[in-house]
Structure 1
Amino acid sequence: MNSDGLPTQSGDTMTTLTRDDYKWAFDPYAYLNAFYSSPVDDSAMTMVLSLLPTIAARLPHCQRLLDIGSGPTVHVPVVFRKKVDEIYLSDYLPQNRELLRKWLRNGEPFDWSEIVEAKTKVQSVLDCDVLSPQVIESIDIAMEYSQALSNVIRLLKIGGYLVLGGILSETWYQFGGRRFGCYLLLESELFSVLSQCGMDTREKHLIYYNHCDVFLLITKRIV
């Protein structure tokens, strides 16, 4: 780290920040500008934003949706607003939660101009740490990115749906001049944990997309 608390950079190397660094180093506006200003420039965002409506269309109408690890984004309530009565956003980082609350209060400067309708379904923005016990009572749909998958699945009712997206076989990602470490998730581990936690991983009951190790899936809790 240099005197300003920024990661040092030398040649092609950059300090990889850890989970403990997120609260001071993660800039939600830099994240949004990097991945959501022009999602067509990012293959992962293009895939997620293109396929989420397809997944939503296959779900029955449910009472509640909990988006675990919302980050500073609101694409989940936008996509699922016609499928659920109540939406709960959550994130580990206070700066992300504050930005989401600004959006709900119409005080968010980032341009989410096409998503006004989704606000009527959002009930709350919650403090979320997937390494800790249950955040809110059992729900119908849970959305999560990778860590502590078993903790997340415990939030689901039997018969509830898990919509999960993430990146496989990767240890970091970067934006805004900073590199953040992430959990190295393998496909075999992903499906093993899903099965162990009572999710239906049979091929005919699972919707799974994988493009260049960017994945998106939907499965149902049966146990």
Structure 2
Amino acid sequence: MSDDPSPQNLNSRLEYKQNFDASSYLREFYSKYDNDPAMHVVLTLLPNVVRRLPVGGRLLDVGSGPTVHVAMCFRKTAQNIYLSDYSDDSRKELFHWLLSYRYWPAEKFDWSSITKFIAEREGESDKWDRIENETRKKIKGILPCNVLKPHVIPIKNKKFDIVTTFFCLEAACNTVQEYRTAVKNVTSLIEPGGNFVMGGLLQQSWYKTGGKCYKCLYLTEEILIDVLKQCDILIENRKDFFYYDHQGIFLCVGCKK
């Protein structure tokens, strides 16, 4: 593509940690449910995915960024929800949201477009205004995370019934080997018989947010499926595995052996 940025103009994951602007990211991608094609695919499919999963247990969202739409979709399924991100600014935004921006009213982000869309997908359009508070009651922690470390989050020996991650792992990794390591580390947090829900980008080498371009691992479906197999995610049986790909945006759900 002629408008692709040159390699020297791509920012690294270290620069992401230092310079990521959570407020700009939310305004750019989440002011309206259809602002971003990738997010629109996830929001359209996720409520249906949630219905397939058992009710109860603990959920960890890895690489939440400053967003809570995943937690919103799982609020009726998971008993306890933990959010996590590599970026300090993202975790600060999550903390402000959790406290309803009580001390930071000028920073409040309006999630109503997203909650209305989720409520519509759930078949309860008239209950959109309850979603944020219902979700807040389920949040039990906002944690730092690093998917390239064996201990992804600073809680040792804790397993989760559901682990989710969206548009995170390919952005965190520079090589296929790093991607294998990241998926292995993240899936190690899942209880045997628990579920792994992941969304991401295929065949992209960069992404843009806040006016800046960042490196992204060029991921193929073949690499993705191979890595999931190596990490003991059951993919052979349609009962255990769901996979959807639309114009380079994928969503998959698999059961951990």
Count of equivalent residues: 212
How far apart, CA to CA, are the structure 1 residues paired with 2:138 and 2:33? 25
Aligned-partner Cα distance in 2 for 1:55–1:82 = 13
Q: Quick check: 2:201–2:219 contact (8 Å CA) kept in 1?
A: yes
2:111 aligns to what?
112
Task: Provide the residue aligned with 1:90 in structure 2.
Answer: 84
**Matching of residues 138-217 of structure 1 within 5 Å:** 138-145=159-166, 146=169, 147=179, 148-204=182-238, 205-217=240-252
TM value normalised by structure 2: 0.79
| CA–CA distance in structure 2, aligned partners of residues 158 and 213 of structure 1 | 30
More strand by share: 1
CA contact (8 A) 2:5 2:213 kept: no
Does residue 122 of structure 1 match 2:156?
no
Question: TM-score, normalized by length of structure 1?
Answer: 0.90
Do the aligned partners of 2:18 and 2:87 also contact (CA within 8 Å) in 1? Answer: no
- Tell me the CA shift for residue 42 of structure 1: 1.9
The question of 1:99 aligning with 2:93 is answered yes
Greater helix proportion:
2
SS of match in other structure, 2:60: strand
Give the residue type in structure 2 aligned to 1:217: C
Q: In structure 2, what is the Cα distance between the partners aligned to 1:152 and 1:102? A: 26
> Which residue is 1:45 aligned to?
39
Instruction: Quote the offset at 1:151 in angstroms.
Output: 0.5
| Alignment partners' CA distance in 2, 1:66 and 1:12 | 34
Counterpart of 1:132 in 2: which secondary structure?
Answer: coil
Report what 1:58 is aligned to.
52
Note the C-alpha offset of 1:41: 3.2
Separation in 1 of the partners of 2:202 and 2:218? 7
Post-superposition, which runs of at least 4 consecutive aligned residues in structure 1 deviate over 6 A? none
CA offsets, 1:87-125, max 9 Å, x none? 000000111001101111111511124422100000010
Amino acid at match of 2:252: L
Tell me, in whole angstroms, the C-alpha distance in 2 between the residues paired with 1:26 and 1:203.
39
- Residue 104 of structure 2 corresponds to none
Partner residue in 1 for 2:148 = 131
**Corresponding residue SS for 2:58:** strand
Alignment-derived partner of residue 7 in structure 1:
none
Q: How far apart, in 2, do the equivalents of 1:74 and 1:125 lie?
A: 11
Counterpart check, 1:18 vs 2:52: no
